[in-house]
Structure 1
Amino acid sequence: MRMQSHPQLTHRSPGGFTLIEVVLALALTVVLMAAILSALELNRRLVMTGREEIERARIARAVFQRISRDLRSVTFRVDTIAAEEDGAVVDSADPAAAAGEDSESTTEEEPEEDEATVIGAVDPESSLLAASGGLTGSTDALVMQICRPPRLNYRLSGANGGTSQVSELQSVSYFVASPGAGGLAGAVGDARAEVGLSRLSGDRLAIEQADVEGNLGLLANATEVLAPEITAVYFRYFDGAGWVEAWDSSVTRNLPAAVEVTFVFEAEDQSIETTGFSLDTDESWRGVIALPLAGAYAAEAVTEVTP
């Protein structure tokens, strides 16, 4: 009897991946996706940062050009009345001369008492020189008196039959409006409910009258918020030897040779703050404006003050 041999069946493992291979594949996929997402996020940040820097530079240049145009239109005349008074004080130091002048004045000036009451006897040029204009500023505010002829609009003048008269002498101020602050900056900030570099401009006499009366509402209505993105501004003034943080043309009797303007923009990761800012951050923009007429006014002051 022959034994029939049965073929041996070989058990083959089914095709597939092991658990370790699946885990490794998933891990590599996660790492690859994370790398792709990181690259996309980095690209987005670079694009947004570039756009933000371009936008800030555009805003800073536009505001800087406007301030430059106003500064180069500043009008200023040396007060000759003060110089004459200084010379009179120096001359009065001589007792003999003072005594002689007093004796002559008592005999000659008595008949002229009636003429002193005549209305209009004041020289109009002297009254203009009493308010010589110029520039007054600190680190956070700038006030200037400018002279700019108004533009004529012939289309409107032909339709209306005339043009509205606008004064050439204007008062222009730059400051940062902030809600809750004092003075005009607080009034503008409360009225507009925003922080930003602001510009007040208008007729010189009207602005001075409103300032004397303390009419902050009128001044706030005439103020324009130029750049809400600029949350702080810093001014410095060059006197020919160094930079100073305050300037008053009525005291220095001239204009600064240059004005440095620094704009500070709001950072995305911090709240709006107008105090305690740093000028050495990426959110700042700086420029210098030269005043070519400063030397001419300084020479005028020297020639008129010298006896």
Structure 2
Amino acid sequence: MNRISHRRRRRRGLSLLELMVASAIAVVLMAAVGAAIHMYSRSVDIGRTNVEEAQLGRAVMKLMEEDLRNCIWKNEIDFSSVEAMASGSASSAASSLTGGAISSDLSSLDSTAETDASLNTTDLAASSGPAMQIGLYGNATELQFDMSRLPRVDEYDPEYVGFRSQKLADKPSDVKTVTYYLLIPGSAYQGTVGESPDRTVEQTGLVRRVLDRSVTQWALENGDTKQLDATAEIIAPEVCFLNFRYFDGYEWYEEWDSSTMGGLPLAVDIVVAIRSADERGGADDEGEAIVIGVAEGDMIYRRLVRIPIAVPIDPLAEEEAMMDSGSSSEAPL
């Protein structure tokens, strides 16, 4: 019994080398566990960021699609058949009447009406006011159109604008003018976007402006572009590229003017690129300028939006119609 206890008391302990090896193994294991946790958290963050960017891209595309689907166009009504019917009934009624006095009165009335019509036409032709026609107008990087949508219940409440505010006071209406464009870093499109002029250098992204059509036209006619920009809103600072193309049913265009084209495009192709928050934050920390355009690592989203009320515009048919009208006008009487 004494021998066993003596052996236990004399049991050999760990040497310094063994202690250092054990400590090194523990440190390596802890570092491996920490690296694994860091990699997992980083992968989770990257996945969450990708999901958020995808949701942002879908939300931006959905918003632009809903606005474009409500785009309206003022069709010119053809009254030629009504005029022909009215002239035919008037001529038949005049032929049935007898008496020189009645015919002279009718001729005097016709001459007076023609004189008034010529005067009105001359005044309209001499008018220098711009033709404000409802429709869609845009190029490769900017888009402006009129849409029809009933106001929400909360939009019927009057909107009060402060005395020092640069924003335009909007009013509830069913016709709104919507504008989309990409804000260049360091400068606004025409003035200052929003009501923070001291942050213009840091501003960038997709800008959306929604105003009543009459308010927008009044501001454009009076040159209040700064107030228009102050009314705009940056809906997606992550957007670094924006491109539009317009399809008339036969070919694609980089620009569209409804007054010139005679209608709305059949479809609008939208391309949007979203830059990650890490790249934008790194550029801000290093003091580098934010590059507008598609860079490596940017997420690109594309959607083709069909405008329901638009009809295909055949350029050949329009040329033939113009040639027919020109030949008929040059034909001898």
Q: Same fold, TM exceeding 0.5?
A: yes
Which residue of the other structure, out of 278, 299, 303, is the alignment partner of 2:294? Answer: 278
In the TM superposition, residue 41 of structure 1 has moved relative to its aligned partner by 0.8
In the TM superposition, residue 110 of structure 1 has moved relative to its aligned partner by 11
- Counterparts of 1:154 and 1:175, CA distance in 2: 24
Which residue of the other structure, out of 215, 221, 231, is the alignment partner of 2:230? Answer: 221
- Counterparts of 1:154 and 1:231, CA distance in 2: 31
Match of 2:329 in 1: none
> Cα RMSD between the aligned structures?
4.2
Percent pairwise identity: 29
Which residue of the other structure, out of 18, 21, 24, is the alignment partner of 1:24? Answer: 21
Q: What is the letter of the counterpart of residue 41 of structure 1? A: H
In the TM superposition, residue 172 of structure 1 has moved relative to its aligned partner by 0.5
CA contact (8 A) 1:72 1:291 kept: yes
What does 1:43-192 correspond to in 2, within 5 Å?
Answer: 43-77=40-74, 112=114, 116-117=118-119, 131-151=132-152, 166-178=172-184, 180-184=186-190, 186-188=191-193, 191=197
Once the two structures are superposed, what CA deviation does each residue of 1:233-285 show, in whole Å capped at 9, x if it has no partner? 33333454665443333333341423223132344133266644226634433
What does 1:261-272 correspond to in 2, within 5 Å?
Answer: 261-269=271-279, 270-271=282-283
How many pairs are equivalent? 256
Once the two structures are superposed, what CA deviation does each residue of 1:65-88 show, in whole Å capped at 9, x if it has no partner? 21111101111246799xxxxxxx
The structure-2 alpha-carbon separation of the partners of 1:300 and 1:205, relative to structure 1 and needing over 3 Å to count, comes to farther
Match of 2:127 in 1: none
Q: What is the letter of the counterpart of residue 219 of structure 2? A: A
CA contact (8 A) 2:248 2:267 kept: yes
Structure 1: tracts of 5 or more residues without a match: 1-11, 82-107, 123-129, 158-163
CA contact (8 A) 2:272 2:301 kept: yes
CA contact (8 A) 1:80 1:305 kept: no
- Counterparts of 2:246 and 2:121, CA distance in 1: 42
- Counterparts of 1:48 and 1:14, CA distance in 2: 53
Match of 2:89 in 1: none
- Counterparts of 1:305 and 1:204, CA distance in 2: 35
Q: What is the letter of the counterpart of residue 301 of structure 2? A: W
Structure 2: tracts of 5 or more residues without a match: 1-8, 79-109, 125-130, 159-169, 326-333
- Counterparts of 1:154 and 1:222, CA distance in 2: 16
Match of 1:105 in 2: none
1:202 aligns with 2:211: yes
Which residue of the other structure, out of 6, 24, 39, is the alignment partner of 1:42? Answer: 39
Q: What is the letter of the counterpart of residue 150 of structure 1? A: P
Secondary structure of 1:187's partner?
Answer: coil
In the TM superposition, residue 219 of structure 1 has moved relative to its aligned partner by 0.7
Once the two structures are superposed, what CA deviation does each residue of 1:60-113 show, in whole Å capped at 9, x if it has no partner? 2222221111101111246799xxxxxxxxxxxxxxxxxxxxxxxxxx999955
Match of 1:126 in 2: none
TM-score by length of 2: 0.61
CA contact (8 A) 2:141 2:182 kept: yes
